[in-house]
Amino acid sequence: MIEWPDTEREALNDDIRTGVRAALSEDVGSGDITAQLIPPYQQAEARVITREPGRFCGKFWVEEVFHQLDPEVRIHWHVEDGDQLQENDRLFDLSGNARSLLTGERTALNFVQTLSGTATVSADYARRVADTGVTLLDTRKTLPGLRRAQKYAVLCGGGGNHRMGLYDAFLIKENHIAACGGIPKAVETARSIAPDRPVEVEVETLEQLDLALAAGADIVMLDNFSETDLRRAVERTGGRAKLEASGNVTEETLVALAQTGVDYISIGALTKHCRALDLSMRLSIIN
């Protein structure tokens, strides 16, 4: 099981229940009329495979789909969240009422294909910088309603989580700085509002970096810094704060940025540019 703080794990469980309920509602609506073609007591078995390599994520969502739809459906797992997949790998088997299996198929696979897509992108990026010591972070650029789900998927792919939302850490950006009257004042006010929350300041120049360090920022986000300026920032900081590179991070630039010595690289593409994994469910009737 992927490690996550207990409070976030509880919130994730709530999100799973709520998200699955909403997904089933939009798909099933007043009832699956096509499934009614099948005799009501017909039993069946099904197996779900992946048609392409990737990183798996979505076990809890599948279990919740069939728990809400029909608790009598049995699931046998062949993989765990975070497992690397190869083409045609068997993910899980289902057995139970044929109507239930077919009604829940699309909702269950939608969650798995989306979250596995996120985990797969994260795994690809993480692999590229595995030897550098840098931690890759996601952002808040997530699918609406799937914030915790996608951030969990990023962990399954070997990445790390930035703040969950607007409530658990300060991220003081350009407009906040202007509205507060400067970096020192913004950091000072943040400390007075919530002394226990991390304070991160986004800067665009080395001079702003100096101001953020002097103000006591815990983390400084270096926005669109060149590779040369990132190295200067690392030297200038001397370990007084964690440094995060952000902006225009691509597969081509990732390794060079990681080798500058920054602690983190945040990448919106981990959650917003993911492509769903191609999955398939095969059903067989039990006579």
- pLDDT single digits (tens) 174-216: 999 999 999 999 999 999 999 999 999 999 999 999 999 999 9
84-116 pLDDT, tens digit per residue, is 999 999 999 999 999 999 999 999 999 999 999
DSSP 160: B
How far apart are the C-alpha atoms of 283 and 100, rounded to whole Å?
Answer: 12
- Confidence at 163, pLDDT banded by 50, 70, 90: very high
209-245 pLDDT, tens digit per residue, is 999 999 999 999 999 999 999 999 999 999 999 999 9
How far apart are the C-alpha atoms of 25 and 101, rounded to whole Å?
Answer: 16
Helices 98-128 and 59-69 meet at what angle, rounded to 10? Answer: 170
Helix (H, G, I), strand (E, B), or coil: what is residue 193? helix
Listed residue (276, 236, 269) closest to 122, CA to CA? 269
Percent of the chain at pLDDT exceeding 90: 93
Residues 6+ apart with CB under 8 A from 33: none
- Confidence at 274, pLDDT banded by 50, 70, 90: confident
- Confidence at 1, pLDDT banded by 50, 70, 90: low
Listed residue (272, 278, 270) closest to 121, CA to CA? 270
Percent of the chain at pLDDT exceeding 70: 99
Query: How many residues comprise the chain?
Result: 287
Which stretches does DSSP call E strand in the chain? Answer: 43-50, 54-55, 74-77, 84-85, 90-97, 135-137, 170-172, 199-203, 219-223, 242-246, 264-266, 279-286
The residue type found at 179 is A
The pLDDT of residue 4 is above 80: no
277 C-beta neighbours (distance < 10 Å), count = 26
Q: What are 79's two structure tokens?
A: 């993989």
Residue 144: beta bridge partners?
A: none
Its pTM stands at 0.94
Give the residue numbers marked as catalytic: 106, 141, 173, 202, 223
How far apart are the C-alpha atoms of 182 and 172, rounded to whole Å?
Answer: 10
- Confidence at 166, pLDDT banded by 50, 70, 90: very high
114-153 pLDDT, tens digit per residue, is 999 999 999 999 999 999 999 999 999 999 999 999 999 9
Q: Rounded mean pLDDT of the chain?
A: 95
The pLDDT of residue 157 is above 60: yes
